[in-house]
């Protein structure tokens, strides 16, 4: 599985998170959280990634969840760095780790947004917690939850037309060390 270490490194507009390769069709979740539709699992909480993005000077926007809602927030680039030829690192946009079930092609370039997560009230308590920490969701391809840190410009309506799997030809074998890179684009 793609597992990230708790090392979050903020350097010159880039947030680095280390990891290990995963083979199942998955999203990005902390280790021990749900693992269906996951490309990457991480050993840190989504709120730690949120804090790292704030340390880079970003302010979260608003996550989408309803049919016509669009994610709001500052744009970031999201890459997965995997071993390339001769074990040289190869950086690929995270959406290029997916392929369309019908035609085998990668989705178009996506604009990722730092939305931040909703806060959820704990049952029987008078306190709120970071929703993404409860679900373990760092980013979602389709906005099926507002309990996430990153979303792109797709809406829930797009789910009907986009059915994707992981690109097994591109992703390294399970257990391979990788990095998730979240980059603030130059202005």
Convert the pLDDT of each residue in 89-129 to its tens digit.
999 999 998 888 888 899 889 999 999 999 998 888 889 99
What is the pTM for the complete model shown?
A: 0.82
75 vs 155, which has greater pLDDT?
75
Strand partners, 120: 129
CA distance 88 to 116: 33
Q: 63 near 86, Cβ under 8 Å?
A: no
Q: Percentage of the chain with pLDDT > 70? A: 78
Name the more confident of 24 and 117: 117
Give the pLDDT score at 10.
42
What's the pLDDT tens digit per position in 122-157?
888 889 999 998 888 888 888 888 999 999 998 888
| Confidence category of residue 15, pLDDT binned at 50, 70, 90 | low
The residue with greater pLDDT, 78 or 68, is 78
**CA quadruple 80, 4, 31, 87: dihedral sign:** positive
Closest of 81, 79, 101, 99 to residue 90, by C-alpha: 81
Task: Identify the band that residue 14 occupies on the pLDDT scale cut at 50, 70 and 90.
Answer: low
Domain count, the chain: 1
Q: Which has the higher per-residue pLDDT, 176 or 113?
A: 113
Residue-range definition of the domain harbouring residue 143: 3-183
Give the tens place of pLDDT for each residue, 35-68: 445 676 677 888 989 998 998 899 999 999 888 8
How many residues are recorded in the chain?
187
The three-state secondary structure class of 24 is coil
Model pLDDT, residue 161: 76
Angle at CA of residue 101, ends 108 and 177, nearest 5°: 75
Residue 104 makes CB contacts below 8 A (sequence gap 6+) with none
The whole-angstrom separation of Cα 145 and Cα 142 is 8
Q: What is the DSSP letter of 180?
A: E
Residue 138's pLDDT is what?
A: 87
């Amino acid at each position: 599985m793609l597992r990230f270490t708790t090392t979050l490194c903020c350097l010159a507009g880039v947030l680095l998170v280390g990891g290990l390769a995963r083979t199942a069709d998955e999203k990005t979740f902390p280790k021990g959280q749900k693992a269906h539709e996951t490309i990457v699992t991480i050993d840190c909480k989504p709120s730690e990634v949120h804090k790292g993005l704030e340390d880079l000077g970003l302010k979260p926007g608003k996550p989408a969840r309803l049919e016509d809602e669009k994610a709001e927030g500052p744009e970031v680039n999201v890459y997965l760095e995997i071993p390339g030829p001769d074990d040289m690192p190869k950086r690929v946009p995270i959406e290029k780790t997916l392929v369309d079930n019908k035609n085998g092609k990668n989705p178009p370039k996506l604009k990722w947004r730092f939305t931040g997560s909703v806060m959820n009230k704990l049952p029987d308590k008078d306190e709120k917690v970071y929703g993404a920490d409860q679900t373990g969701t760092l980013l979602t391809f389709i906005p099926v939850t507002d309990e996430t840190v990153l979303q792109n410009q797709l809406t829930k309506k797009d789910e009907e037309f986009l059915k994707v799997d992981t690109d097994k030809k591109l992703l390294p074998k399970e257990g391979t060390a990788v990095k998730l890179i979240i980059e603030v684009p130059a202005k």
